[in-house]
């Protein structure tokens, strides 16, 4: 795909995430006023990750155009750092967290929506915004993977970073429960302490699997193993 269409596509995706975030933050929901605010929800954290990631993608494209034909080694060095940051975010955060949010949300939603997205939320969040938060994330990140080759870090470093993020969020959820006495997700209310530990371990394993899927898919699309 040509560079200019890719630039336009990334800019459009970035604008859509900015719109989703602005509309979501404008909603007057009781959950936004409690401890942790929007930051206690992985969906919101993922939206911020995706917006920052595509912002870096757009910035990389602009920098690439500005440095094209320029012999400045310093600018070339800065561009390479930007590309490395973009690739790292794609590998460790944007792809595994985005895919995890979409697959886990809709899997639990289909089984029993009250466990993850109670009907009460329909009074606050319109359907289009729900899909913007829980559906379009997947095609957007797949489009980015298809249009641009991303250099993945070493597998050990990548998995370590993903585990750090997963464990950090789990500890954040547990801390919120410790402070407020309420679990962020209704699903956790129905699990015994032992089952919660198994659940959190399974979640960590799943997000690591999605990291590996992203690495394999990236290699398959761009045939980097040849």
Domain ranges of the chain: 4-222
pLDDT on residue 205:
97
Question: Any idea how long the chain is?
Answer: 226
Q: How far is CA 89 from CA 3, 16, 66, 92, 202, in A?
A: 20, 19, 23, 5, 23
Cut 0.85: pTM above it = yes
In angstroms, the CA 17 to CA 52 distance is 9
226 residues of the chain, pLDDT tens digit each: 454 578 889 999 999 999 999 999 888 888 788 898 999 999 999 999 999 999 999 999 988 887 776 767 777 888 899 999 999 999 999 999 999 999 999 999 999 988 888 888 888 889 999 999 999 999 999 999 999 999 999 999 999 999 999 999 999 999 999 999 999 998 899 899 999 999 999 999 999 999 999 999 999 998 754 4
In the three-class reduction of DSSP (H, G, I as helix; E, B as strand; rest coil), residue 154 is classed as: coil
Cα 96 from Cα 101, distance rounded (Å): 9
The pLDDT assigned to 224 comes to 54
């Amino acid at each position: 795909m040509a560079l200019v269409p890719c630039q336009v596509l990334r800019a459009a995706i970035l604008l859509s995430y900015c719109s989703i975030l602005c509309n979501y933050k404008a909603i007057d929901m009781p959950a936004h006023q409690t401890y942790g605010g929007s930051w206690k929800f992985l969906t919101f954290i993922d939206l911020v990750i995706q917006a920052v990631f595509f912002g870096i993608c757009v910035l990389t494209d602009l920098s690439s155009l500005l440095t094209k034909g320029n012999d400045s080694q310093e600018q070339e060095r800065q561009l390479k750092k930007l590309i490395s940051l973009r690739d790292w975010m794609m590998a460790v955060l944007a792809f595994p967290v985005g895919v995890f949010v979409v697959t886990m949300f809709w899997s639990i939603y289909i089984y029993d929506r009250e466990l993850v997205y109670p009907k009460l939320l329909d009074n606050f969040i319109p359907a289009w915004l729900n899909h913007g938060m829980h559906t379009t994330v997947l095609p957007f990140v797949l489009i980015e993977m298809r249009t641009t080759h991303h250099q993945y870090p070493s597998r050990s470093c990548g998995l370590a970073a993903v585990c750090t993020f997963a464990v950090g969020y789990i500890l954040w959820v547990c801390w919120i429960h410790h402070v407020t006495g309420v679990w962020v997700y209704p699903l956790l209310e129905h699990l015994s302490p032992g089952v919660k530990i198994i659940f959190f371990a399974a979640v960590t394993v799943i997000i690591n699997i999605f990291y590996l899927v992203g690495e394999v898919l990236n290699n398959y699309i761009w045939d980097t193993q040849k």
